[in-house]
Amino acid sequence: MIKYIAKRLGQSILTLFIIVTIVFSLLRLMPDEGYLGAAAEKMSLEQQEVYLTNLGLRDPLLIQLKNFYIGLFQGDLGKSVTYRTDVPVLDIIQDKMMYSIVFGLGAVALSLLVGVPLGIFMAQFKGRWLDRLGTGYIVFVVAVPAMVYFLMIQMYISDWFNLPMLFDEYNPKSFILPLFCLALGPIASYAMWMRRYMVDELNKDYIKLARAKGVTERTIMFSHVMRNAFIPMAQYLPATILFTITGSIYIESLFSIPGMGGLLVDAIQRQDNNVVQGLVLVFSSLGIIGLILGDILMAIVDPRIKLGKGDSVR
């Protein structure tokens, strides 16, 4: 496993280098007017050139790329140019990251606590009223655009239960609706896949053999079926948790949460290269680390899976 992790880390560093280099190069193809903003009308052409030169945008691309990686290895992602002028990119990301982490982790915990048991009971009582009710909920969440029921929840649920419509970090009750909205989709997803995998397991020969030997349904469900059904889901769980840092654009906008959701969009619109590069690096790292942790978690959950070389390993 150590060799596997070392190999994957090496591949991950190369992948990050390629992604960041491509994004860095593409950002330099954007028009200069975006860096000047509203100040462009008040500046002469000479002043604009001086300003862009001071930003390093008139240096050759390879020189700009070299300076970026030198700063990166020193833990410096640069300073914001247009989003929050002269504020370090790391400070901007850290300020917004905590809000997204709190809501994201809360939503993941809620969706696991509700979605996994719901999928288990739907599989256990397949074809009965609970299974039909859960299926109806899944179809509703998948078929209806999320913005529709998010708005209905904000307008009506907040009124019925006297809950704040907008987020206020000093009011604990304002956390309820955003967490509820964020968890609705994952609950349906966990329930759907858990039910599917458990139904598949229930139809396998080893379950029929266990029943023939007189093993109780409770033991079959929780000691055999549920464990094997959860293995495919375990691979994506670390990535799901890590990606809570990226936030939700729509939820954070709807409830006025100052999280990471809209930061990348705002930075691209304002052509703040340093912020965009920092966010791409963070998001890419999270995705790659999540995949590695997912493979490791699968090997832990299922000892039959071995990481390395050979025909019977990942």
Q: How does pLDDT run across 140-196, given as a tens digit for each residue?
A: 998 988 888 888 888 888 888 888 888 888 888 889 999 998 888 889 988 998 888
In contact, 262 and 248? CB cutoff 8 Å = no
**What helix, strand, coil percent values describe the chain, rounded to 5?**
75, 0, 25
What's the number of domains the chain is made of?
A: 1
pLDDT given for residue 311 in this prediction: 43
Is 39 within the bounds of a domain? no
Instruction: Please report whether residue 114 resides in a domain.
Output: yes
pLDDT, residue 251, reads 86
Residue 297 is assigned to a structural domain of this protein: no
> Does residue 69 sit within a domain?
no
Question: Quick check: 123 and 202 in contact, CB under 8 A?
Answer: yes
Task: Give the structural domain span for 248.
Answer: 95-265
pLDDT value at position 3? 79
- Residue 88 backbone dihedrals phi, psi, to 5 degrees: -55, 140
Structure tokens at 300: 């832990």
303 assigned to some structural domain: no
92-118: burial string, b at 16+ Cβ within 10 Å, e else: bbeebbebbbbbbebbbebbbebbbeb
For residue 202, what pLDDT is reported? 81
Average pLDDT along the chain, 314 residues, taken 10 residues at a time: 78 87 83 68 78 80 87 83 82 86 88 90 87 92 87 88 87 90 88 87 83 82 77 77 74 85 80 83 83 78 63 47
pLDDT of residue 309: 56
- Which CATH number characterizes residue 187's domain? 1.10.3720.10
Q: Evaluate whether residue 129 is within a structural domain.
A: yes
Question: Is 189 part of a structural domain of the chain?
Answer: yes
The whole-number pLDDT of residue 312 equals: 45
pTM (two decimals): 0.76
Q: Does 237 map to a domain?
A: yes
